[in-house]
Structure 1
Amino acid sequence: MKFPNTPSFTGFFAPSGVEADVKHLPVVQGEVPADLAGSFYRVHPDPQFPPLYGDDIWFNGDGMVSRFSFRDGNVRLQQKWVRTPKFNMERAVGHALFGAYRNPLTDSEEVKGEIRGTANTNVIAFGGKLLALKEDSPPVLMDPDTLETIEAVYTFNGQLISETFTAHPKIDPKTGNMLAFSYAAKGLLTRDMVFYEITPEHEIIKAIEFQIPYYCMMHDWGITEDYAVFHVVPSTSDWERLEKRLPHFGFDKRKPIHLGVLPRTGNATAEDIRWFSAPNCFASHVMNAHNVGTTVHFDTPMAEGNMFPFFPDYEGAPFEPLKAQSRITRWTVDMLGNSDEIKMERKTELVGEFPRIDDRFAGFKNRYGWLLSQDMTKPVDLPGGRSAAGMMMNTIARIDLETGESDSWWVGSVSSMQEPCFIPRPGSTEEGDGYIVMLENRLAEMGSRLLLFAAMNLAQGPIATIQLPFRIRSGLHGNWTPETALAA
């Protein structure tokens, strides 16, 4: 019952298993604005038991949700595992039952056919409820105040028509509705998709079913005022890979990419979706999208080659780090145009990923975006010259999409950073008027700190640095919810 001595389970990525409630975190530098009231929820994979077959990729761990509550200049930390069906079944027997990432062929016989989700990818408060998400399974419903699991399989009161649900829902700033999708909606490796629109009362008012050109890891997507936008990039799989126990996804350089644009307005159906194409490349997360009439702009960190070494080349080619460098690129298509090609325009030379915006502008034209960046001109004072993840996200950057200018702050030679999240300043309406909150990975000392920045002036450094009492494992995504929304 030992965790393996591999990169996914040692160093900063060593399992933690800490559930906690710390009422007052020390602010070791600066001050937390007294009028900042709300919660930053985020989640990371944290396996409660060693993997069934000796090793696995690091983000196949059980979901551990952290809540940082801000009020009157104080920050409180709560942290708790999500009690998924998988978590409960394994805890009952005291060891792992489910096998490799996204490969049910490797599961123990007694759990064949059970829901395998770990709820470890994103967490978002919506309509007074907290949803923990992973894209291969339904949401898990949690209490936003206590982090207790309420429903291990949440189907929006039986309205969910897919086996899966996105880890990247979007909130329409005009209507307040949640927009979401499911891929592999009718089962593992299927091309079936569903687009959803959901009210704050958790009523599904739209569910449009369609198919994508080929099965892929559709991790993120975009919305505009009038359209839903889906990018199909060849991190793909098939049953032969799973039977050979290869990593679930592999990057197939032989396939083109596609962009599907589905009208959101009127009585649109699956027949109204239009597909555009471009030569092979890589893109995963999405900064934002917007439309001007029938012209759709889609901003994403794009790389020439595969960015994920843990999902290797389909034909066994070696990983190419230089081709894995992604830069924010605008993809543009016209729903009434004669061409099915995707036009591409690079918006910045910064190498980075995990882009975020002021979410009050989701689906509308935004000027600013924040992202983790790799500044390769800065020193790295760690063994091997890299972080536990193989990349050194050592800079938080803001880019101006209109001017191309950027504003950034380097975290130092022995730390890296996790995904940023934008917090609007209470009472403000101007884009970018607010804060950036994020976790710092103190790699040299195996610790963590919470950093708070003025969103429009990153270069000055954190306006508040909050010390954490234990290491928080590298995570994926999170979101801010104001206290007024939780109270409502």
Structure 2
Amino acid sequence: MSNRRHFLSLAALGLASTSALADSLTYRSFHAALEQNAQMSVYANGTGDLHAQATVLGCLPADLNGVFFRNGPGRFELGGERYHHWFDGDGFAQRWQIANGKVHHIGRFVATQKFEEESRAGRFLYPAFGTYVDRKRFKKNDVINVANTNLLPFNGSVYALWEGGSATELDPLTLQTRGIKTWRDDLKAMPFSAHPKMDPDGGLWNFGVMPGSDQLAIYRLNKVGEVMRTALIPVPQLNMVHDFVVSGRHLIFLLPPYDMQPGPEVSLAGSMRWAGERRPLRAVVISRDTLALRQVFELPARSVFHLGNAYEDGACTRLDAVLHDGDVLPRPGLPMRGEMRMLADNPSNAVQITLDYTTGQAREARLFGVSEFPRVAPQVVSARHRKLLVLGSSSRHELILDSVNLIDTDSGKADSYAFGPGWQMEEHVLVPRRGARSETDGFVVGVAQDTRRQQSVLTVFEAHNIKAGPVALARLPYRAPVCFHGNFLA
């Protein structure tokens, strides 16, 4: 990538625009709300390493054995100050070991350069996505890498992933931090997104974006982690992209309409201005064979974080996504100061989008209402799928996901189970049985927060019968930090 230096220098303009926690209002307002509302505990500060055997209620399936790796933000407070955005917290990696009817859990902070320096200083030093901090200057994006978004088992190791920088390698058994992973010397410090997609051959696709660079970096790694192909693709107004999908012939990115307007004492999130009144949501399609831009489609302006899967259907590509009305970037900042807002402010829908290359038109069909974290069975990634797993909300009033739903994408029917008040669900995944013959021949595994008991709970469902409820719950004797994403390694 001959343009690597240019890519990173442009990206640094956006990162350098962030800077210092000017008040303690966020800290005080959150802790006042926490005293009144136990549901706020899922946004409370994590303090250190965790290790315990869970208490199993019900019966863990005999053929469910493996490790569920999870990652998310764990440290939100330091030196009496609190971050302003949920995405800012330092990464806290977790390992749920399921074997012989027992569940063991360990969790520890990812020892990034940022985490170690700030721990020694006893206060935040570097900028975060949604919080203005400028106590210490930096020149490289990996200095502020929080490694807090996903945990990827790959080629015998485990990687903590973040949007704007390198993967961080961890020991797969102990979660001890090994250090920054450089896939190839000329790719050092290039952003390696938190949502890589596995190929049937064991390799993976991934991408990287830095706001302000207007370039999309594409990577193709083989199953032993060697970089086989790369590309830098110019894409104008490329200011936010979190996820993508890979079909048989294409890589597809949904780009919500944000403008980047850096300013003094403004966080990176604060510099992202919603432009939905002027621009559409764009679907950018890249050819897998050539890594060249094939086509751009336009849809009504919405925000998007997560996509499900994509497959080819004749002259069309079909893909799943969760689309949110309007600007959702400020919303994860609300619980950081102790607020829960009406879901009606930015309602979401899980949809299936059809990209028609002949007509140049994009169509969408609604699959499910308020939802997030779409996943499909690993054996159908990039191929035709008929089941989409999402979390949903049974509340019309608060930002709480409390149901697990497996949607039939052909009929639109959902097999659902709601945990109800006092629970908050984290992302769930489909785990196939060995030799699975269908997408529901296996299990749905996830984590839930029981806010009434202040416990984190591993949940296990039979994938063919979600509505029957979990066949097993594995309760920890403590609350572990809420995670964003993870993967199951059988």
Structure 1 length as normaliser, TM-score?
0.86
How many angstroms apart in 2 are the aligned matches of 1:291 and 1:478?
Answer: 26
**Where do 1:193-204 residues align within 5 Å?**
193-204=216-227
How many angstroms apart in 2 are the aligned matches of 1:293 and 1:208?
Answer: 27
Distance 1:357 1:158, change over 3 A: same
**Where do 1:347-362 residues align within 5 Å?**
347-348=367-368, 350-362=369-381
Matched, 1:163 2:190: yes
- Matched-pair contact (CA < 8 Å) for 1:189–1:238: no
Pick the aligned partner of 1:297 from 318, 343, 365: 318
**Where do 1:432-443 residues align within 5 Å?**
432-443=440-451
Match of 1:396, SS state, is strand
- Matched-pair contact (CA < 8 Å) for 2:129–2:268: no
The Cα of 1:17 is off from its aligned counterpart by 1.9
How many angstroms apart in 2 are the aligned matches of 1:189 and 1:147?
Answer: 33
In the alignment, what sits opposite 2:13?
A: none
- Matched-pair contact (CA < 8 Å) for 2:184–2:227: no
Structure 1 segments unaligned to the other structure (5+ residues): 313-318, 378-384, 483-488
How many angstroms apart in 2 are the aligned matches of 1:294 and 1:418?
Answer: 36
Matched, 1:216 2:239: yes
In the alignment, what sits opposite 1:373?
A: 392
Matched, 1:458 2:466: yes
Distance 1:91 1:48, change over 3 A: farther
Task: State the AA in 1 paired with 2:136.
Answer: E
Matched, 1:137 2:165: yes
Pick the aligned partner of 1:18 from 48, 53, 61: 48
Structure 2 segments unaligned to the other structure (5+ residues): 1-20, 35-39, 334-340
- Matched-pair contact (CA < 8 Å) for 2:27–2:80: no
Distance 1:179 1:453, change over 3 A: same
Distance 1:132 1:6, change over 3 A: farther
Q: Which moved more, 1:276-285 or 1:68-77?
A: 276-285
The Cα of 1:136 is off from its aligned counterpart by 1.0
The Cα of 1:211 is off from its aligned counterpart by 2.0
- Matched-pair contact (CA < 8 Å) for 1:139–1:165: yes
Distance 1:161 1:232, change over 3 A: farther
In the alignment, what sits opposite 2:347?
A: 325
How many angstroms apart in 2 are the aligned matches of 1:6 and 1:222?
Answer: 39
Match of 1:273, SS state, is strand
Distance 1:76 1:311, change over 3 A: closer
Distance 1:264 1:283, change over 3 A: same
Pick the aligned partner of 1:231 from 246, 254, 258: 254
In the alignment, what sits opposite 2:176?
A: 148
Matched, 1:282 2:293: no
Structure 2 length as normaliser, TM-score?
0.85
Task: State the AA in 1 paired with 2:366.
Answer: R
Distance 1:62 1:303, change over 3 A: closer
Match of 2:118, SS state, is helix
Whichever structure has more strand as a proportion of its residues is: 2
In the alignment, what sits opposite 2:288?
A: 264
- Matched-pair contact (CA < 8 Å) for 2:147–2:167: yes
How many angstroms apart in 2 are the aligned matches of 1:401 and 1:244?
Answer: 39
The Cα of 1:242 is off from its aligned counterpart by 5.9
The Cα of 1:309 is off from its aligned counterpart by 3.6
- Deviation digits for residues 276-333 of structure 1 (CA, Å, limit 9, x no counterpart): 1123122221011111244111211123333444379xxxxxx984252222212222
Pick the aligned partner of 1:416 from 421, 424, 447: 424
- Matched-pair contact (CA < 8 Å) for 1:97–1:111: no
How many angstroms apart in 2 are the aligned matches of 1:260 and 1:51?
Answer: 43
Pick the aligned partner of 2:214 from 191, 211, 234: 191
- Matched-pair contact (CA < 8 Å) for 1:52–1:100: no
The Cα of 1:260 is off from its aligned counterpart by 0.9
In the alignment, what sits opposite 2:362?
A: 342
In the alignment, what sits opposite 2:16?
A: none
Q: Which moved more, 1:291-300 or 1:320-329?
A: 320-329
In the alignment, what sits opposite 1:474?
A: 482
- Matched-pair contact (CA < 8 Å) for 1:42–1:67: yes
Task: State the AA in 1 paired with 2:47.
Answer: G
How many angstroms apart in 2 are the aligned matches of 1:41 and 1:374?
Answer: 24
The Cα of 1:110 is off from its aligned counterpart by 4.7
In the alignment, what sits opposite 1:94?
A: 122
How many angstroms apart in 2 are the aligned matches of 1:138 and 1:168?
Answer: 13
Matched, 1:177 2:203: yes
Pick the aligned partner of 2:62 from 22, 27, 34: 34
Distance 1:466 1:54, change over 3 A: closer
Task: State the AA in 1 paired with 2:303.
Answer: F
- Deviation digits for residues 231-250 of structure 1 (CA, Å, limit 9, x no counterpart): 11124432137647872434
Task: State the AA in 1 paired with 2:92.
Answer: M
Task: Count residues in correspondence.
Answer: 451
Q: Give identity over the alignment, percent.
A: 25
**Where do 1:387-402 residues align within 5 Å?**
391-402=399-410
- Matched-pair contact (CA < 8 Å) for 1:16–1:471: no
Q: Which moved more, 1:82-91 or 1:115-124?
A: 82-91
Match of 1:99, SS state, is coil
